[in-house]
Amino acid sequence: MQRFGKKLRVLRKRHGLTLTELAETLGYTAYSNSYLSLIENGKKKPTAELALKVATFFGGFCRSAYAG
């Protein structure tokens, strides 16, 4: 899942978003930025719900994030 986190970070930065902004955009509280940080650093696995929200927001990101 580290690959998911790395791609999430790249997309977030490419769109000029902070962790807090991304968390709020995905419908999480501003305090969820620490959770997203752990995912970006490969220390936590994303939930299916988060993966779906990320895919919806960034447009099909999930398929490429999980591709081997």
Q: How far apart are CA 56 and CA 48, in angstroms?
A: 12
- Total-model pTM: 0.79
Return the pLDDT at 32: 83
Give the helix, strand, coil percentages of the chain, each rounded to 5.
70, 0, 30
Q: For residue 28, count CB atoms less than 10 angstroms from its CB and return exposed for 0-12, middle for 13-18, buried for 19 or more.
A: middle
Q: How far apart are CA 45 and CA 40, in angstroms?
A: 9
Please, which pLDDT band fits residue 60 given cuts at 50, 70 and 90?
A: low
Summarised one tens digit per residue, pLDDT across range 2-56 is 799 999 999 999 999 999 999 999 998 867 889 999 999 999 999 999 999 998 9
Return the pLDDT at 68: 46
List CB contacts of 5: < 8 A, sequence separation 6 or more. 39, 40, 41, 42, 46
Where do the domains of the chain lie, and which CATH numbers do they carry? 2-66 (1.10.260.40)
